[in-house]
């Protein structure tokens, strides 16, 4: 169990992170390291689709987010981030985090989509 991370297309312009039902902070750290390595392996912009549909949030998810935001930096070629299948709790948590870290998240906003088809359509419209 954890988080599966892979290229979403042959052009290596989009990464797909698929959260399984159960995942941990360690799984998230590993997935973020993989995403960072994938983004820095190419020179062009790379968007990230974060599929959380059906995933359970760990109890300490807000602390996880605070730690990651406090220490993480965007890559120069990091593109759009779209969260797929987020429920209201996830969306409200994101709003709270945006208020806590406006300077760190300026320009790194997350978009939301109901499903992967919708997320891919949003990315196509942004390109």
Q: What is the pLDDT of residue 70?
A: 61
User: What sign does the CA torsion over 24, 8, 48, 51 have?
Assistant: negative
pLDDT tens digit sequence for 23-32: 988 898 899 8
Return the CATH architecture of domain 3-126.
Answer: 2-Layer Sandwich (3.30)
Q: What is the pLDDT of residue 72?
A: 64
Find the distance separating the first CA and the last CA of the chain, reported in whole Å. Answer: 33
pLDDT tens digit sequence for 67-111: 766 666 677 898 999 999 988 888 887 888 778 777 777 666 789
Read off the pTM. Answer: 0.87
Distance separating alpha carbons of residues 13 and 46, to the nearest angstrom:
5
């Amino acid at each position: 169990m954890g988080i599966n991370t892979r290229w979403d297309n042959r052009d290596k312009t989009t990464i797909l992170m698929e959260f399984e039902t159960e995942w941990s902070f360690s799984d998230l750290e590993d997935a973020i390291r993989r995403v960072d390595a994938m983004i820095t392996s190419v020179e062009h912009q790379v968007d990230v689709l974060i599929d959380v549909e059906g995933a359970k949030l760990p109890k300490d998810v807000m602390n996880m987010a605070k730690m990651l935001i406090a220490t993480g930096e965007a890559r120069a070629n990091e593109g759009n981030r779209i969260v797929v299948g987020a429920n209201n709790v996830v969306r409200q948590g994101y709003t709270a985090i945006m208020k806590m870290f406006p300077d760190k998240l300026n320009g790194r906003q997350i978009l939301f989509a109901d499903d992967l088809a919708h997320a891919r359509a949003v990315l196509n419209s942004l390109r």
